[in-house]
Amino acid sequence: MELLSGLLSSLGLSGAAGLNAFIPLLVVGLLDRLGVMTLAEPYDLLASPWVLLGVAVLGALDFVGDKIPGVDHLLHLAGGVVNTAAGAVLFASQSGIAEVPPSLSLILGVVVAGGVHATRAAVRPVATATTGGLGNPVVSTAEDGLSLGMSLLAVFIPVLGALALVGVLFLGFSLWGRLRRRRRAL
C-alpha cells in the first residue's frame, strides 16, 4: 500500500511542478522542515534553509514574471527544463517509492512534469492571443493555485492529488481546444 501511495503522491507532485516548479518544491521542503513528512537523502536537502530561501526567491521572481505577457513566454521556455527537472526530483523524493529504481522515477517525473508543462505552454499563447495578454495574469494565478492545491493533495491525500493531475490535463486539453476554435473564428 505504501508503494501505491508513494506513486500517487509522486504523480501529483510532479504534475504540480509542471504548472509551477517552485510551489511543490517549497511545500515539500517546508513540510519536511516542520516534521510533517520525511524526505530520504539526498532529497532532504530541499528542507535546508538556504535551499528553501533560494527556491522562495526564484519562485517570487517567477510568480511576478509569469503575469507579464512576453516575459511569461520566456519563463515558459526556461520552464521546459526547470519544471521538468523539479518534477523529476519531486517524483523521486517520495520515500514510498523506494522499490522503484531511481532512474525510472526520475524519468517518470520528467514525463509527467514535462507533459503538464507542455500543455500549459500550448494553452498560454492562445490565451494571450485571444485576450490581448489581459488574461495572462488570471491564467497564471489559476496555474499557481492549482499547483499549490495539487501539491498539498499529493502529500496529504495522494489519491486526490493524482486525480487532480488527471483533471488538470483534461482541463488543459479542453481549454486549448476551445481557445484554438475561438482563435480560428477571429
Q: What is the pLDDT of residue 1?
A: 59
First to last CA, the chain: 51
Q: Which residues contact 34 (CB under 8 A, 6 or more apart)?
A: none
Query: For 66-119, how does the pLDDT look when each residue is reduced to its tens digit (9 = 90+)?
Result: 888 888 888 888 888 999 999 999 998 885 555 778 788 888 889 999 989 888
Peptide bond into 42 cis (omega under 30): yes
Sign of CA dihedral 5, 91, 123, 176: negative
Say how many residues make up the chain. Answer: 186
pLDDT, tens digit, 9 for 90 and up, residues 142-163: 999 999 999 999 999 988 888 8
Helices assigned H by DSSP within 20-135: 22-33, 49-65, 71-93, 102-131
Q: Based on the number of CB atoms within 10 Å of its own CB, is 68 exposed (0-12), middle (13-18) or buried (19 or more)? A: middle
Q: pTM (2 decimals)?
A: 0.87
Q: Give the tens place of pLDDT for each residue, 19-59.
A: 999 999 999 999 999 999 988 888 899 999 999 999 999 99
